[in-house]
Amino acid sequence: MSDKKLFKRDEIINRNSKTDAVFIIKNQVYDVTKFLDDHPGGHEVLLNVAGKDASEDFDDIGHSMDAKELMKKYLIGDLVEEDRVEPKKRKFDWDNPKTENVAETSFTSSWKFPIVLGLIMTVLYTYLFG
């Protein structure tokens, strides 16, 4: 049996101030009140997710291994079983990007435009100053 405290999501919701900043990451509860002023991104970033589930925000930032190791210091417990959610698995399909339709991609928004522009500028510079 774990010696960590169990929390309900309802208990976390109101813990969203500079004097009591608590949030959830992957069904674990963290109290970062003492870390607010030391956070490299500023205390506002942490306060924006205080009282909430910050799992997706934490993953989106791409924290370092050092940051993930430091997190352990602020772990105060886990969510009760009935409040846990299955962490979303991020799936990337590099062969089929959803945000970009190849048929609708214009020349200026592709990788070709900066290459061609660079070549034109090189030729023009060489012609004018060479």
Is the pTM for the entire model greater than 0.85? no
Domain residue spans of the chain:
5-83
Q: Maximum CA pair distance of the chain?
A: 77
In CATH, which superfamily holds the domain spanning 5-83?
Cytochrome b5-like heme/steroid binding domain (3.10.120.10)
Is the separation of the CB atoms in 89 and 52 below 8 Å? Answer: no
Tokens of 82: 């009935």
Q: pLDDT (tens digit, 9 = 90+) per residue, 15-27?
A: 999 999 999 999 9
Tokens of 109: 């928004």
* Residue 7: closest CA among 25, 59, 48, 18: 25
Angle (CA) 74 77 83, round 5°: 130
pLDDT for the residue numbered 74: 96
Q: pLDDT (tens digit, 9 = 90+) per residue, 55-105?
A: 988 888 888 899 899 999 999 999 999 999 987 776 666 666 555 555 556
